[in-house]
């Protein structure tokens, strides 16, 4: 399917995302310590590791959600295409537009139609489109999310009436509508059945190259299937979370440099 026409928002260009020396706190409790990671443009990066090691906190720092928690604090830099998203001149809405987020539990707007869910972000980001351009954008985003053929005759029905897997793909379509350069996904398949999981994974692989994808997953098979690179997080004996190692997914699973990585990916702990 061709890209939307000139009347729609310009397609996002996948961008490198780089975290430099990220530390994070909730009150006096330090949860991340000096985490640095480069997420190459157009690739899928999987964040793996046991619960409580800071993966989801790190993900939320990448699009400025962490700062919304009253007791939260952080140090370090997050660079999108070489520019710090936390720089004083950068607006929060700009970061959210360029770095989208899909959560663990599908969260469509239940009273809005499928169509309205996809276009909801346009108003928030100040984008105005004519009806034809909006129709084209909705079809394009639902197609990229692997959902168009299932809902093309249900666009005016409530998004909350879709199945769980369809709702998650609707949330992906909603994120894509504002043309992000990066898409963050926090365990997007943990609440889904195997068939829906497979479809979401197919969507992730389809998006690779067009956007940079960073996904938190506890499913090692999923990490191996969808990602180009992995980063293994670990928090040992009450210490803050950090990255043990990161690199090519195949190498991380078959010849990791650290024995703790080998133990984790082979299910010996976590």
Q: Is 233 exposed, middle or buried (0-12, 13-18, 19+ CB in 10 A)?
A: buried
Answer whether residue 7 shows pLDDT above 80.
Answer: no
CA dihedral over 265, 59, 204, 169, signed as positive or negative: positive
- Mean pLDDT for 143-157 is 94
CA 23 – CA 235 distance, rounded (Å): 13
Q: Find out whether 118 and 141 touch, Cβ atoms under 8 Å.
A: yes
Answer whether residue 10 shows pLDDT above 50.
Answer: no
* pTM for this prediction: 0.90
Q: Domain 17-107+162-265 classified CATH 3.40.50.300? A: yes
pLDDT digits (tens, 9 = 90+) for 81-93: 999 999 998 888 8
Work out the angle at residue 101's Cα, subtended by the Cα atoms of residues 242 and 98, and round it to the nearest 5 degrees.
100
CA dihedral over 81, 83, 84, 90, signed as positive or negative: negative
pLDDT digits (tens, 9 = 90+) for 198-251: 989 999 998 988 899 999 999 999 999 999 999 999 998 889 999 999 999 999
The proportion of the chain whose per-residue pLDDT surpasses 70, expressed as a percent, equals 95
What pLDDT shows up at residue 8?
39
Q: How far is CA 241 from the centre of its chain?
A: 20
What pLDDT shows up at residue 208?
86
pLDDT digits (tens, 9 = 90+) for 18-38: 999 999 999 999 999 999 999
Answer whether residue 4 shows pLDDT above 70.
Answer: no
pLDDT digits (tens, 9 = 90+) for 40-79: 999 999 999 999 999 999 999 999 999 889 999 999 999 9
Task: Read off the pLDDT band of 97 (50, 70, 90).
Answer: confident
Answer whether residue 12 shows pLDDT above 80.
Answer: no
What pLDDT shows up at residue 94?
82
DSSP 71: T
Residue with tokens 């299910």: 267
Mean per-residue pLDDT of the chain: 90
- Mean pLDDT for 171-187 is 93
Between 243 and 129, the more confident residue is 243
Kindly list the domain boundaries of the chain, sorted by start residue.
17-107+162-265
- Mean pLDDT for 112-140 is 89
Answer whether residue 11 shows pLDDT above 60.
Answer: no
């Amino acid at each position: 399917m061709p890209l939307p026409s000139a009347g729609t928002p310009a397609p996002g260009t996948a961008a490198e995302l780089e975290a430099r020396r990220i530390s994070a706190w909730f009150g006096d409790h330090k949860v991340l310590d000096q985490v640095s990671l480069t997420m190459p443009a157009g690739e899928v990066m999987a964040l793996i590791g046991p619960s409580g090691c800071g993966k989801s906190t790190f993900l939320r720092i990448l699009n400025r959600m962490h700062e919304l928690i009253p007791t939260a604090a952080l140090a370090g830099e997050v660079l999108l295409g070489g520019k710090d998203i936390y720089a004083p001149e950068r607006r929060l809405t700009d970061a959210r537009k360029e770095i989208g987020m899909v959560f663990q539990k599908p969260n469509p707007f239940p009273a809005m139609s499928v169509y309205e869910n996809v276009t909801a972000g346009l108003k928030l980001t100040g984008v105005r489109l004519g009806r034809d351009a909006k129709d084209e954008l909705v079809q394009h985003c639902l197609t990229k999310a692997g959902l168009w053929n299932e809902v093309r005759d249900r666009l005016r029905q409530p998004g909350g009436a879709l199945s769980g897997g369809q709702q998650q793909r609707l949330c992906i379509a909603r994120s894509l509508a504002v043309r992000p350069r990066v898409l963050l996904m926090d365990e997007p398949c943990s609440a889904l059945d195997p068939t829906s999981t497979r479809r979401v994974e197919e969507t992730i692989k389809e998006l690779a190259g067009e956007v940079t994808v960073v996904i938190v997953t506890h499913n090692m098979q999923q990490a191996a299937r969808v990602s180009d690179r992995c980063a293994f997080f670990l928090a040992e004996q009450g210490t803050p979370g950090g990255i043990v190692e990161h690199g090519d997914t195949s190498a991380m699973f078959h010849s990791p440099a650290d024995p703790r990585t080998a133990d984790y990916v082979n299910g010996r702990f976590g």
